[in-house]
Amino acid sequence: MAPSSLPIVRDATALRAAIAGWRGAGLRIGLVPTMGALHEGHLSLVRLARRRAERVIATLFVNPLQFAAHEDLSRYPRDEAGDAEKLAGAGCDLLYAPALAAMYPPGFATSVTVAGVSEPLEGEIRPLFFGGVATVVAKLFMQTPADVAVFGEKDYQQLLVIRRLVGDLDIAIEIVAGETVREADGLAMSSRNAYLAPDERATAGKLNVFLRDAVAQLRAGDAIAAAEAACAARLAEAGFKPIDYVAVRDAETLAPLVTLDRPARLLAAAWVGKTRLIDNFPVRPAKTGVS
Ligand code: PAF
């Protein structure tokens, strides 16, 4: 493949030099942080950033801080040349792909912790994850600095953690959420879908179907606990194992809910073979019929 024409910078100094002209001209800068292995979901975030800003920077950094020792850091898919090509086609202006030593030089000793919204669900299963995400995202925000940053709703809890981080630290970057992009059968696009064998891929496509059915059940008035349990049972029957969680939570705080009396989110994480899938859908309170 011919190298892409997209400029690539490798450290924060080169990044600042590359965007100095944009800042001097008062251009609005959009940021799309990624770990690469880009698919249509990422590219939709780039296009969304493009609508909100005059210049778009994508970042590509497989952040070791957000992987536990037993997780898939070493096998995480990597294709920088292919990613650069896709980004250029989606309207990205610059790729920031720092080397590990540029992000975490010897002696690096700072970590960012977001309490509260990072603690349930993913936080219980992957206790290192959100600390790693918050630390790297805080660094990327300092290094850029952008006017707007776009994150996918597919990683819904991550989006809430980043909103909290930005609010708590008075970081002047607008956080914009991009809708989850799905395959024809509704499977949420994810770099990790590449791990799925054909039979696993068929099973994976059922996650979104069962979640949508659970949302419909909730809107029809079923109790939260019953809808969660029914969805988990269908996932188990279809071959998902283990099922990390199927949970209806407050859409902003992720606090557990007993009744559907406010905007909520149904979130799930479950494994197909060696691949962990996550997905989520909004659950709006059912109409009462009283207008
Ligand atoms: O969502 C991701 O790809 C990563 O968690 C992020 C936000 C780029 C931080 O490494």
Burial status of residue 202 (CB atoms within 10 A of its CB: 0-12, 13-18, 19 or more)? middle
Summarize pLDDT for 58-108 with one digit per residue, the tens: 999 999 999 999 999 999 999 999 999 999 999 999 999 999 999 999 999
Average pLDDT score over the chain: 96
Helix and strand totals (H; E) in the chain: 10, 9
Find the 21 Cα to ligand 1 centroid distance in Å: 27
Work out which ligand 1 atom sits closest to the CA atom of 155: 1
Work out which ligand 1 atom sits closest to the CA atom of 59: 8
- State the pLDDT at residue 285: 76
Q: Whose CA is nearest to atom 9 of ligand 1?
A: 133
Cβ atoms of 58 and 34 within 8 Å: the answer is yes
Cβ atoms of 256 and 247 within 8 Å: the answer is yes
Find the 34 Cα to ligand 1 centroid distance in Å: 5
* Nearest one of 219, 217, 242 to 228, comparing CA atoms: 217
- 42 is known as an active-site residue: yes
Average pLDDT on 260-283 reads: 97
Q: For residue 287, what pLDDT band results from cuts at 50, 70 and 90?
A: low
Find the 32 Cα to ligand 1 centroid distance in Å: 9
Ligand 1 pocket at CB < 6 A: 33-35, 63, 66, 133, 136-137, 155, 158
- State the pLDDT at residue 290: 42
CA 89 vs CA 9, 183, 244: distances in Å? 18, 20, 37
Residue 284 pLDDT exceeds 90: no
* Nearest one of 48, 43, 52 to 147, comparing CA atoms: 52
Q: Whose CA is nearest to atom 1 of ligand 1?
A: 34
Average pLDDT on 36-45 reads: 98
Residue 27 pLDDT exceeds 90: yes
Mutational pocket test of ligand 1: of 63, 122, 193, the residue with most ligand atoms within 8 Å of the beta carbon: 63
Catalytic hit among 15, 37, 42, 149 = 42
Find the 35 Cα to ligand 1 centroid distance in Å: 6
- State the pLDDT at residue 289: 43
This prediction has a pTM of 0.96
Work out which ligand 1 atom sits closest to the CA atom of 191: 3
Average pLDDT on 265-269 reads: 98
Average pLDDT on 155-174 reads: 98
Residue 222 pLDDT exceeds 60: yes
- State the pLDDT at residue 47: 98
Q: For residue 1, what pLDDT band results from cuts at 50, 70 and 90?
A: low
Q: Whose CA is nearest to atom 8 of ligand 1?
A: 34
Give the torsion sign (CA, 289, 281, 214, 247): negative
* Nearest one of 175, 173, 205, 177 to 189, comparing CA atoms: 205
Average pLDDT on 169-187 reads: 98
Average pLDDT on 233-249 reads: 98
Burial status of residue 288 (CB atoms within 10 A of its CB: 0-12, 13-18, 19 or more)? exposed
Find the 123 Cα to ligand 1 centroid distance in Å: 15
- State the pLDDT at residue 291: 38
